[in-house]
Amino acid sequence: MEILLVILLLLVALVTVVLLRTVLLKPTPAKEAKVPLDNNERAVEYGKKLSTLVKKETVSSRFEPDRTKFLEFHEILEEMFPNIHKTCEKHVFNGSLLFKWSGKGNHEPILFMSHHDVVEATGTWEHEPFSGDIDAEGRIWGRGTVDTKASLFCLLTAAEELMAEGYVPECDVYLASSCTEEWSGEGAPATVQYLKEHGIKLGLVLDEGGMILEEPVGGVIGTYGMVGVLEKGYGDVKFIARSNGGHASAPKKNSPLVRLGKFMVDVEKNYPFQHQFNSTITEMFTRMAPNMNFGMKLIFANLWLFKPLLTKLLPMINSAAGAMIRTTIAFTTAKGSNGLNVLPQEAFVTANMRFSPHQDDKESIAIITERAKKFGLETEVIYSDSPCPVVDYKAAPFKRLEEVAAEVYPGVGICPYVMTGGTDAKYYKEVSDNCLRFAPLYINAQQYASIHGLNENIYQGALPHGVDFYKKMIQKS
């Protein structure tokens, strides 16, 4: 009896602690924060200029070696940003750009980057993808508005305007923009190679990445700037099944395609990679917890209790959140025999993998190779790259970004997070320990969904804040 009573009392105490922690966690200003989107004179002027950049079609492809359109895009930039072209040292790496703005040399150099190539625009759009239309609500339409001509425009405009005021930065400021980002081409690696050859180590790299969003995660009420501090590793892997082939009229069991099928089902059913909440994910949820709906708040305000359960369940609840806490594998292409009535002597599937820091490329590939062996498959690594080092959100570069964000976007929450997609910043790990992935621009849910999709557009009213953000980042460096 007494034992039961003790257990009951303990349970009541536990529930009380959980509830108290939930109720006492008060909302932060991010809950009510809004980014004002005035169509003032400055926004209208910026909108027209961004529209000009969007009108120039700059679709990139690994199968198209001709870079003429990117050089034509540079001519537009030359006209739009005369001070940059007068003041800076300009380097062009086969269509990719690097400007060096010499400063007083008091601190380590910094680099802001973006890219000026875009993905193709298929399907039916409300406004033609390269129209650069500006509608009555002040939205600029077209492929590349969000990804990433807007941030390119803002970082160049910030430098241009500071130069016009006669400002000289404390450190060298580099401005970079590749024309091969969308297919991980040679632009950014060539730029990094140049920096390496000249012994340039960067105190900060600020690339595209997260943006300013309302409800960045379902159930979190508020406006947040999502700053990528970790980029997962990337891999393409091929799994090969062999047999003696033969005629399809007398098939044996376990033919190559069947083995590949069994393997893929097994990987999905018995997931081979570990789930782990790293410190970045924990920090992200801790910062969002105060503005969550009650159910989520109950869990995330009590991570001390629920973390093990959540680590297991998160990938089931939300695939994007799941991708942040584990290595992922997605089967992408497949090939059997060439004849409808011929058993393949060799069949294969390929998979795209994204590696978590806690199970990097080597470990993850070793695990999947072992699993494939069980089904009589060979594994061939086509390409693999390790995860990027995690940027410390307690260190100076992140704190500087937070300070600037607080000035430009009062009340907006700033959250570190894991990038599940890739950017050019991954190449910069060789020249900087602080690659932050954040385009300081507000976009709504539709605009977020339009990246690489239909109807890409951005508010011109968002642009002045973006310009101010880069200006302050330069002035505080």
Q: Under the criterion CB under 5 A, does residue 117 sit at the interface with Zn ion?
A: no
> Between 22 and 450, whose beta carbon lies closer to Zn ion?
450
Backbone φ and ψ for 353, nearest 5 degrees, come out as -120, 145
Opening angle at CA 132, ends 127 and 134, nearest 5: 80
Cα dihedral 152, 154, 157, 163 in deg (nearest 10): -100
Q: How far is the CB of 250 from Zn ion (least distance, A)?
A: 50
DSSP class of 171: S
Do β-strands 435-442 and 204-214 pair in parallel, antiparallel, or remain unpaired? parallel
| CB-nearest residue to Zn ion | 147
Q: b/e for 60-98, b at 16 or more Cβ within 10 A?
A: beeeeeebebbeebbeebeebbebbeebbeeeebebbbb
Number of helices and strands in the chain (H, E)? 15, 14
For residues 249 and 38, give the distance between their C-alpha atoms in angstroms, rounded to a whole number. Answer: 71
- The CB-of-243 to Zn ion minimum distance in angstroms stands at 40
Q: Tell me, what amino acid is at 122?
A: T
Question: Interacting stretch for Zn ion, rule CB under 5 A, among 29-37, 62-70, 97-105, 143-151?
Answer: 143-151
Shortest distance, CB of residue 180 to Zn ion, whole angstroms? 11
Using DSSP, state whether 330 is helix, strand or coil.
strand
* Contact range with Zn ion by CB under 5 A, out of 2-10, 64-72, 146-154, 252-260: 146-154
| Nearest to Zn ion of 118, 467 (CB atom) | 118
Candidate segments 127-135, 140-148, 231-239, 415-423, binder of Zn ion by CB under 5 A:
140-148
172 is an interface residue for Zn ion by CB under 5 A: no
C-beta of 424: minimal distance to Zn ion in Å?
A: 10
Task: Catalogue the E-assigned strands of 6-130.
Answer: 89-93, 96-101, 110-115
Residue closer to Zn ion by CB (options 219, 453) is: 453
Closer Cβ to Zn ion, 180 or 432, answer by number:
180
- On whether the CB atoms of residues 98 and 111 are closer than 8 A, the answer is no
147 or 468: CB nearest Zn ion: 147
DSSP label of 377: -
Nearer to Zn ion, 335 or 452 (CB): 452
> At its nearest, how many Å lie between Zn ion and the CB of residue 109?
26
Whether the CB-CB separation of 438 and 210 falls below 8 Å is answered with: yes
Smaller CB separation from Zn ion, 70 or 277 = 70
Considering the complex, state which of residue 57 and residue 378 has its C-beta at the smaller distance from Zn ion: 57
Of 129-137, 139-147, 242-250, 431-439, the window that binds Zn ion (rule: CB under 5 A) is 139-147
Provide, rounded to whole angstroms, the least separation between the CB of residue 456 and Zn ion: 10
Nearest to 138 by CA among 408, 412, 409, 442: 442
For Zn ion, how many residues bind (rule: CB under 5 A)?
1
- Rounded to a whole number of angstroms, the minimum distance from the CB of residue 425 to Zn ion is 13
Q: Does 147 bind Zn ion (CB under 5 A)?
A: yes
Residue 173 class from Cβ within 10 Å (0-12 exposed, 13-18 middle, 19+ buried)? buried
DSSP 146: I
Q: Which is nearer to Zn ion, 147 or 231 (CB)?
A: 147
Token output for 288: 């969002």
- Pick from 282, 332, 272: nearest CA to 303: 282
Kindly identify the residues of this chain, within the stretch 27-66, that bind Zn ion according to CB under 5 A. Answer: none
Q: Cα Rg for the chain, rounded, in angstroms? A: 25
Smallest distance from Zn ion to CB 191, Å: 18
Residue placing its CB nearer to Zn ion in the complex, 285 or 417: 417
Smallest separation, CB 143 to Zn ion (Å): 10
HSE toward the beta carbon, residue 138, CA cutoff 13 A: 19
**Encoded tokens for 365:** 């590939």
Shortest CB 146 distance to Zn ion, Å: 9
Instruction: Let me know: does 228 contact 458? Beta carbons within 8 Å.
Output: no
Stretch that binds Zn ion, among 30-38, 85-93, 145-153, 251-259 (CB under 5 A): 145-153
Scanning 147-155, 293-301, 305-313, 425-433 for contacts with Zn ion by CB under 5 A, the matching segment is 147-155
Structure tokens at 170: 């404390």
Nearest approach in angstroms of CB 439 to Zn ion is: 11
Q: CB under 5 A: which stretch of 25-33, 142-150, 280-288, 315-323 binds Zn ion? A: 142-150
Which of 141-149, 241-249, 260-268, 274-282 is the region at the interface with Zn ion (rule: CB under 5 A)? 141-149
Measuring CA to CA, how many Å separate 283 from each of 280, 286, 438?
A: 5, 5, 17
Cβ(325)–Cβ(356) below 8 Å:
yes
Nearest distance in Å: CB 144, Zn ion: 9
Q: Which residues bind Zn ion (CB under 5 A)?
A: 147
